[in-house]
């Protein structure tokens, strides 16, 4: 309902188990490449991991994880049991690693896979907003501030605001996830078990998984997880802003937009709810609390925390699922969003030109220092009073006053704002397409470690 179908599959319990086993298999390959274990043992470990990923039920592993407080302990036991059947010694499985090496690296694999879907949906939503901005560049509507009519603007300018925010959020999340780092530190971040090969094993593990080198183990320093959570929170906030606008504009009294596939009601046959935007907003509203929880789990003590990391696993998974689901539902809303220019024109003229009082004041100020007081007094009688006030007419004349009261002639740079947003997107796309391929380096989630 909240749009999490695709992202849910990429961040499910099954996906978690697959990621954990991918790390174990990659560790075996990295160690085999350095002669730490036999190559045919690494192959057998990889086959066993593939088998377990499809055969192991999450609820079974969950029950087995209770005693040790993390799923890696029973998972390694199961992996060793399968490998033993093919002659692989238990010492070749999970060699030199601690549970947290696996349970910290697996989320990086998971975040890369699921995060790519979140970014894809944010980009799709931004594309849909850009299309609305382009189509309605010059469609006049009321700008609203503090819940009141302000001055004229265009629907294109509003849609460009949505587009700009979504693009920015997608870019920030992309940067954070550019190359999430591997985590390999051994029992207490010293890499002592297989010294002096552990650092090379860590680099090989990163290479096998397509992750960034860790620079240093980050067992108890989870800044990068905080950065990921914050980027997801900002993306959800941008989605919430856009959906709030859509829901308000779709209200019966305003009626300036409607969704292509509105939701109905079990009791009221007439209802046409902007349900895609509503459910996107619902998902996004759950995110800030999860961001706070994630930031609150950064107080890891010494070399291994007691509980903070455990609170992080499900929280970050929910952040990915909810933000991705919200972005997906927003994309559906924007892709099928219908603008109603006739309703926009009706609302634009609802106050008989009262929203242009500031423009008249500016024009009147060229003739009298009492311009503000004169217009304020006239405005009490409503917009029609501005057009008939004798004092205003005396200074400006009927023809000039009619020109000043035309809302479509007071759009400022609304169209230029649309052009700038669309031009910036085109420029960014061109740069991305023509820019050099990036090398594996300590960027994004790994940037803090590199610096």
Beta bridge partners of 141: 153
Q: Of 248, 249, 243, 244, whose CA–CA distance to 339 is shortest?
A: 249
The contacts of residue 186 (CB under 8 Å, 6+ apart) are 96, 97, 98, 101, 192, 193, 198, 217
Taken as a whole, the chain contains a residue count of: 451
Give 431-440's long-range contacts (Cβ < 8 A, gap of 24+).
Answer: 438/178, 440/179, 440/206, 440/207, 440/212, 440/213
pLDDT in tens, 54-80: 999 999 999 999 988 889 999 999 999
Do residues 134 and 422 make contact, with C-beta atoms less than 8 angstroms apart? yes
pLDDT in tens, 308-345: 677 788 899 999 999 999 999 999 999 999 999 999 99
According to the model, what pLDDT value does residue 183 have? Answer: 83
Q: Which of 72, 107, 66 is nearest to 93 (CA)?
A: 72
User: Residues 128, 334: contact at Cβ < 8 Å?
Assistant: yes
Mean pLDDT for the stretch of residues 130-153: 95
Is 209:22 a contact under the CB 8 Å cutoff? yes
User: Which of 97-101, 122-126, 318-322 has the weakest average pLDDT?
Assistant: 97-101
Q: Does residue 253 surpass a pLDDT of 60?
A: yes
- Please state the rounded mean pLDDT for residues 93-110: 91
Query: So what's the pLDDT on residue 218?
Result: 67
Contact 173, 235 (CB under 8 A): yes
pLDDT above 50: residue 209 = yes
- Given a cut of 60, is residue 434 above it in pLDDT? no
Phi, psi of 277 (to 5 degrees): -65, -40
**Which residues of 312-357 form beta strands (DSSP E)?**
337-339
Pick from 271, 254, 321, 316: nearest CA to 291:
316
Q: Does residue 204 or residue 193 have the better pLDDT?
A: 204
How far separated are the first and last CA of the chain, in Å rounded?
42
Q: Which residue has the higher pLDDT, 277 or 2?
A: 277
Active site residues: 265, 304
Say if residue 264 is preceded by a cis peptide, omega within 30 of 0: no
Is pLDDT above 50 for 114?
Answer: yes
Rounded distance between C-alpha atoms, residue 382 and residue 372, angstroms? 15
112: part of which helix (H) or strand (E)? helix 99-135
> Which residues in 4-33 are b (16+ Cβ under 10 Å) and which e?
beebbebbbeebbbbbbbbbbbbbbbbbbb
* pLDDT value of residue 445: 41
**pLDDT for residue 302:** 78
pTM of the model: 0.86
Q: Could you give the dihedral angle defined by the CA atoms of residues 253, 256, 261 and 263, in that order, rounded to the nearest 10 degrees?
A: -20
Q: Cα–Cα distance between 308 and 264 in angstroms, integer?
A: 43
CB contact set of 448 (below 8 Å; sequence gap of 6+): 223, 224, 227
Hey, CA dihedral for 292, 295, 299, 303, is it positive or negative? positive
CA distances from residue 55 to 60, 64, 82, 124, 168 in whole angstroms, order as listed: 11, 15, 12, 35, 41
pLDDT confidence band for 383 (50 / 70 / 90) = low
Q: Whose CA is closest to 109, among 25, 172, 181?
A: 181
Please state at what angle helix 13-33 crosses helix 72-84, rounded to 10 degrees: 60
């Amino acid at each position: 309902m909240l749009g999490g179908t695709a992202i849910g599959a990429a961040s499910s319990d099954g996906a978690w188990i697959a990621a954990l086993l991918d790390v174990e298999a990659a560790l075996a390959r990295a160690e085999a490449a350095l002669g730490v274990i036999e190559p045919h043992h690494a192959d057998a470990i990889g086959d066993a991991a593939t088998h377990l990923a499809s055969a192991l039920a999450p609820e079974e592993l969950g029950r087995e994880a209770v005693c040790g407080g993390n799923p890696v302990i029973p998972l390694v036991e199961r992996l060793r049991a399968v490998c033993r059947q093919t002659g692989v010694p238990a010492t070749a499985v999970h060699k030199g690693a601690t549970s947290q090496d696996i349970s910290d690296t697996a989320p990086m694999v998971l975040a890369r896979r699921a995060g790519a879907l979140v970014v894809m949906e944010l980009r799709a939503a931004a594309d849909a907003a850009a299309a609305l901005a382009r189509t309605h560049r010059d469609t006049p509507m009321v700008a609203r501030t503090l819940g009141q009519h302000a001055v004229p603007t265009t629907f294109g300018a509003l849609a460009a605001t949505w587009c700009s925010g979504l693009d920015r959020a997608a870019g920030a999340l992309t940067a954070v996830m550019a190359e999430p780092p591997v985590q390999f530190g051994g029992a207490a971040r010293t890499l002592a078990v297989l010294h002096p090969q552990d650092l090379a094993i860590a680099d090989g593990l990163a290479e096998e998984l397509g992750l960034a080198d860790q620079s240093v183990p980050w067992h108890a320093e989870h800044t990068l997880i905080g950065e990921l959570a914050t980027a997801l929170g900002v993306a959800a906030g941008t989605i919430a802003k856009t959906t709030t606008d859509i829901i308000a504009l779709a209200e019966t009294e305003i009626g300036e937009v409607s969704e292509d596939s509105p939701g109905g009601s079990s009791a009221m046959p007439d209802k046409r709810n902007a349900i895609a935007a509503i459910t996107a907003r619902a998902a996004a509203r759950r995110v800030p609390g999860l961001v706070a929880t994630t930031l609150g789990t950064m107080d890891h003590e010494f070399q291994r925390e007691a509980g903070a990391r455990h609170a992080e696993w499900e929280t970050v998974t929910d952040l990915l699922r909810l933000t991705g689901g919200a972005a997906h539902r927003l994309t559906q809303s924007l892709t099928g969003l219908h603008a109603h220019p006739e309703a926009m024109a009706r609302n634009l003229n609802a106050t008989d030109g009262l929203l242009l009082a500031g423009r008249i004041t500016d024009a009147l100020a060229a003739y009298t220092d009492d311009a503000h007081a004169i217009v304020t007094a006239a405005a009490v009688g409503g917009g029609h009073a501005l057009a008939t006030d004798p004092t205003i007419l005396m200074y400006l004349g009927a023809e000039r006053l009619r020109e000043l009261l035309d809302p479509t002639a007071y759009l400022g740079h609304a169209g230029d704002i649309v052009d700038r947003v669309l031009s910036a997107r085109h420029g960014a796309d061109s740069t991305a397409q023509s820019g050099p391929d990036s090398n594996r380096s300590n960027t994004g989630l790994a940037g803090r470690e590199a610096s």
